[in-house]
Amino acid sequence: MEGSGDEEAAAGGPLQHLVKRQRKEKRELQAKIQGMKNAVPKNDKKRRKQLADEVAKLEAELEQKHKEELKEMKEASPEQNKEKKAALEKEREERIAEAEIENLTGARHLESQKLASLLAARHLEIKQIPSDGHCMYRAIEDQLKDRQNSWTVATLRNQTAKYMQSHFDDFLPFLTNPSTGDMYSREEFEKYCDDIANTAAWGGQLELRALSHILQTPIEVVQMDSPPIIVGEEYSDKPIILVYMRHAYGLGEHYNSVKLLTDSATENSS
């Protein structure tokens, strides 16, 4: 029986080694991807799209490589099926544990805590919005529902593009070609506006400025490490409030909406 146990341990050795190496390769790829993301300017929509394609290709290639490696090992040693399943299950458990640690100590968790504290002081809390390229517009759409405004994301995007096109001189000076550093040409500007209306291009400061004028409403952006940004201060309506998160997802930047703090009434009565 002891001999049998030794053989099982020996059989499991190469598989354990393969699993560990594959995990290391995944971590190295994610670090590489993060570096690639950090190197691309936020306003370079074209490069961001190219980056997303490059990232998907790199991840798919590594996943295929790992599948083939596991398949080869399985075909070479059918008797290792049990050990393989155990190793993969152990890997899954370890990854879950690592994710929990990251959630508790990482930048995303710390940012969420700080923002929750800032909003709680105003009897507000974060309302999660999907991260799909439309998050800024979805957050505004959510805020408008409370004002009996039924504008959709598509409407907000179309109106933003039209406003920027009709106020060309107000926005063009703030857009530059990331490759040359030159101010956008009229053709590049038209393409930028077309992307706003017809793609999932991310929204930012310029689009918020346009939307504040369209809605004739201030828009306040709450963030972690600096005072809130308010665009459209010239308008007297109650501000639309968005939450800007730098560390929310893989690509970093993300907008959420807000809602009344669920337990604010309890807090006020205590």
Burial category of 68 from C-beta neighbours within 10 Å (exposed 0-12, middle 13-18, buried 19 and up): exposed
Q: Which of 38, 41, 50, 43 is nearest to 184 (CA)?
A: 43
Q: Where are the beta strands (DSSP E) in 65-188?
A: 124-127
Residue type, 113: Q
Which residue of the set 134, 142, 213, 254 is catalytic?
Answer: 254
Q: Is 193 a catalytic residue?
A: no
Quote the CA–CA distance of 259 and 244 in Å, as a whole number: 15
Write the DSSP symbol of residue 201.
P
- Residue 94, number of CB atoms within 10 A of its CB: 13
Give Dmax (Cα) for the chain.
83
Which residue of the set 135, 142, 193, 213 is catalytic?
Answer: 135
Question: Which tokens go with 7?
Answer: 């053989």
Burial category of 58 from C-beta neighbours within 10 Å (exposed 0-12, middle 13-18, buried 19 and up): middle
Q: List, in order, residues 6 or more apart from 132 with CB less than 8 Å away.
A: 138, 200
Q: Is 254 a catalytic residue?
A: yes
Task: Determine the distance from the C-alpha atom of residue 15 to the mean position of all C-alpha atoms in its chain, rounded to a whole number.
Answer: 34
Q: Where are the beta strands (DSSP E) in 145-191?
A: none
Which residue of the set 66, 109, 132, 167 is catalytic?
Answer: 132
Active site residues: 132, 135, 254
